[in-house]
Amino acid sequence: MRRIISILMENEPGALSRVVGLFSQRGYNIETLTVAPTEDKTLSRLTLTTFGDDRQIERITKNLNKLIEVVKLVDLTEGAHIERELMLCKVKATGAQRAEVKRTVDIFRGQIVDVTSSVYTVQLAGTSDKLDAFIGTIGDAQVLEVVRTGVSGIARGEKVLSI
Amino acid sequence: MEKLSGAEMVVRALQDEGVEIIFGYPGGAVLHIYDALFQQDKVQHILVRHEQAATHAADGYARATGKPGVVLVTSGPGATNAVTGIATAYMDSIPMVVLSGQVRSDWIGDDAFQETDMVGICRPIVKHSFSVRNVEDIPEMVKKAFYIATTGRPGPVLIDIPKDKTSPLVKLPYEYPKKVKMRSYSPVARGHSGQIRKAVDEMMKARRPVIYAGGGVILGEGSEHLTKLARLLNFPVTNTLMGLGAYPGSDKQFLGMLGMHGTYEANMVMHSSDLIVAVGARFDDRVTNHTQKFCPGATIIHIDVDPATISKNVRADVPIVGPVKQVLEDMVAMVEESAERPDEKALERWWQEIQGWREYHGLRYETNGDGPMKPQQVVEALYRATRGDAYVTSDVGQHQMFAAQFYKFDKPRRWINSGGLGTMGFGLPSAMGVQFAFPNATVACVTGEGSIQMNIQELSTCLQYGLPIKIININNQALGMVRQWQDMQYGGRHSQSYMDSLPDFVRLAEAYGHVGMRVDRIEDLDAAMEKAFSLKDRLVFMDIYVDPSEHVYPMHIADGAMRDMWLSKTERT
């Protein structure tokens, strides 16, 4: 099952490698990973997605909690949550394709943020599924380059992850 | 405020932390620190002959005293040589602080002479690690290192110190913090009282209970309360390899060690129980055998300070996260206050059944008469010669299992062995650590001719510091445990488990300035032991030749339940 684990940790060198090490040591793959300082510069917020059954995830979260630099963590997939991923994507846009690509971008509520005579650079945000769907619709042949930020997530409602 | 260099800060912080002894080996990156050490006399430095031995010695010191062991090594090879010892301490949750030198900070990452990424190498085998970036951080970093190493589930902590951060040219104000508080680290202070109550209720209902106690009881200073609880309830007790001594080994309620080479009765009791009270134990694979077949009828109470240990291998019905001492203390109080007791008749029947198992096997082995002596006889002779009151360290292999089975440890912190990592070469250096902690105590190192050669250079350290350790070399002229597996599972093909051309250990010991003794015949054994232990101020190396074909039994049958055991070469359950 796909999980989104969100971690609040000390913004210190080495902290990230300890988190990643717990996964690689056990042979679990990290699907996406995004990390940046929070409003409190001494803390970083790390969001990662991975696949695992309940037992695996329980073990990994317990061990993540044991890391000295991990302040708090939550498995967002346990409750209602919002997830977003940002994608920048270069798409071939020549001839009749130009209008078609534009239309598709509009349907997906993306933006064209850079234009040349043959290429559109599209910015699109949403769930990972939506980004996948966009690429599927445009078609592999048209897509020149894709860069995705990985998933960021936050719980719905009043619940907050803070110290 | 007083101004100190980084090197002086390191040494002063150790003093302020109350460290009396450190084990190490100098080298380029730590010379500033060694110079600061030279100019004081509060912290004694022990010069080992190999950095692995420094970590094992600090480890032995920690296991025997409960105080953290401290190690100082240089960068590069000094640091990597310490890695095995750090991993050993990590697996057995031993409090340790390792200070490793590092090349100057502006050279890090450039393949400088004797550079290695020690923080990176150690990441999976330390509880935490620090790298000094600013000289002024040193006091707080040392304080935090000791705090982390000794609290919660203990473990080794590394501080990597680039040489320029210890320069005598940079002096900064020094103040050692009285306390540290870390928002991201707060070990559980108390077990949940509701869970403790629930556990006590389960105990009162039990008809076939057993207490399964591990090294956590010793680390958490819970032996006294464990013993009280067991006696109050008249429950049988088994200890893990790491837990031996947590409950008195010669007590009538004690079943011996459990697990792969545990006693027949301990494993039968576990398998047949309806309640397992696991205290400071981690359901290791050497204990459980196949986890799916583990103790099918038992309700499991699991007390441990580390939440990640609970339900890791075997699901707990009543998990209790907390310090074992406090939890056991609360349990004793609840039982004492309560008028309720477990069903006496049921317990009586349970004890009768246990007695039957004891009589059936009871660690029996066959002696050879006039032929080669058995390794078990050596441990029994050691027990007699030391009146059961020695600190016994061991290496890894058959001799370790025989020592664990046949030496009855009545007190915690007397049995010192590498249980988790199974590190050959641990025995002699850890014995040094114990002897430094208790200069007048009897310290015996039970080893084999394979293991002892993995750190034999420490005989030189022992001479330098006059350590009167007694080395009991159970010499079966083979890597006995490997050979046993090859006998049992590889058709007797002894691939590389025989060591040709063993040294003459007697003359080797003498060459190092010690006393060497060789024993070949059983009739000489007791007298030789008495003589060795009467030499109070000398290290004695007893090279004792035993039957090379002996196996350790009982032995779990792989992938079976706890009750599935080989009881001898021909007999199984």
Task: For A4-51, write each residue's pLDDT tens digit.
Answer: 999 999 999 999 999 999 999 988 899 999 999 999 999 999 999 999
A70-75: strand order across its sheet: A30-37, A43-51, A2-10, A70-75
Q: How many CB atoms lie within 10 A of CB A162?
A: 11
H or E stretch including B532? helix B522-534
Rounded to 5 degrees, what angle do the CA atoms B436, B438, B439 make?
70
Q: How far apart, in Å, are the Cα atoms of B153 and each of A108, B143, B281, B325, B547? A: 51, 17, 12, 13, 41
Q: How far is A93 from chain B (nearest CA, A)?
A: 45
- What is the token pair recorded at B25? 């080996």
Residue B114 designated active-site:
yes
* CB nearest B123 (choices: A9, A10, A18): A18
Residue B432 designated active-site:
no
Residue B163 designated active-site:
yes
Active-site residue identified among B114, B195, B457, B464? B114
Mean pLDDT of the region A86-108: 95
Task: Give A-chain residues touching B185 at CB under 8 angstroms.
Answer: 68
User: Please, which pLDDT band fits residue B370 given cuts at 50, 70 and 90?
Assistant: confident
Global pTM exceeds 0.90: yes
Q: How far is A155 from chain B (nearest CA, A)?
A: 21
CA–CA distance, B125 with B155 (Å, rounded to integer): 9
The torsion of the CA quartet B58, B59, B60, B66, rounded to 10 degrees, works out to 100
Task: For B52-72, write each residue's pLDDT tens digit.
Answer: 999 999 999 999 999 999 999
Q: How far is B149 from chain A (nearest CA, A)?
A: 11
CA–CA distance, B517 with B524 (Å, rounded to integer): 11
pLDDT at B130: 97
Taking 90 as the threshold, does the pLDDT of residue B362 lie above it?
no
Taking 90 as the threshold, does the pLDDT of residue A163 lie above it?
no
pLDDT at B212: 98
* CB nearest B128 (choices: A13, A62, A68): A68
Task: Give A-chain residues touching B127 at CB under 8 angstroms.
Answer: 68
* CB nearest B308 (choices: A10, A21, A62): A62
The answer, yes or no, to whether the previous bond of B548 is cis (omega within 30 of 0) is: no
Q: How far is B473 from chain A (nearest CA, A)?
A: 37
User: Please, which pLDDT band fits residue B45 given cuts at 50, 70 and 90?
Assistant: very high
Q: Does A40 touch chain B (CB under 8 A)?
A: no
Mean pLDDT of the region B375-400: 97
Task: Give B-chain residues touching A9 at CB under 8 angstroms.
Answer: 184
State whether A68 and B182 contact (CB < 8 Å).
yes
Q: Does A10 touch chain B (CB under 8 A)?
A: yes
Q: Best interface-test mutation with B: which of A23, A59, A66 has the largest number of B CBs within 10 A? A: A66
pLDDT at B499: 79
Query: In B515-548, which positions are buried (b, 16+ CB within 10 angstroms) versus exposed (e)?
Result: bbbbbeebeebeebbeebbeeeebbbbbbbbbbe
Active-site residue identified among B334, B424, B481, B565? B481
Instruction: Give alpha helix (H) positions in B361-438.
Output: 375-385, 398-406, 427-437
State whether B120 and A70 contact (CB < 8 Å).
no
Q: Which residues of B touch A (CB under 8 A)?
A: 119-120, 123-124, 127-129, 131, 148, 182-185, 306-308, 311-312
Mean pLDDT of the region B486-504: 93
Task: For B322-360, write each residue's pLDDT tens digit.
Answer: 999 999 999 999 999 999 999 999 999 999 999 999 999
Closest CA to B506 of B551, B449, B562: B449
CB B483 within 8 Å of CB B497: yes
Active-site residue identified among B8, B17, B51, B458? B51
* CB nearest B148 (choices: A13, A65, A68): A68
User: Please, which pLDDT band fits residue B480 given cuts at 50, 70 and 90?
Assistant: very high
Task: For B256-291, write each residue's pLDDT tens digit.
Answer: 999 999 999 999 999 999 999 999 999 999 999 999
CA–CA distance, B102 with B79 (Å, rounded to integer): 9
Active-site residue identified among B38, B44, B113, B336? B113
Q: Does A71 touch chain B (CB under 8 A)?
A: yes
Q: Does A21 touch chain B (CB under 8 A)?
A: yes
State whether B124 and A70 contact (CB < 8 Å).
no
- The percent of residues in chain B predicted with pLDDT above 90, rounded, is 97
Q: Does A26 touch chain B (CB under 8 A)?
A: no
First-residue to last-residue Cα distance in chain B: 71
CA–CA distance, A149 with B475 (Å, rounded to integer): 62
Mean pLDDT of the region B372-400: 97
Residue B113 designated active-site:
yes
Q: What's the mean per-residue pLDDT of chain B?
A: 97
* CB nearest A68 (choices: B119, B185, B311): B185
Task: Give A-chain residues touching B105 at CB under 8 angstroms.
Answer: none
- Give the chain A residue whose CA is nearest to the CA of B305: A66
Taking 90 as the threshold, does the pLDDT of residue B361 lie above it?
no
Task: For B406-451, write each residue's pLDDT tens digit.
Answer: 999 999 999 999 999 999 999 999 999 999 999 999 999 999 999 9
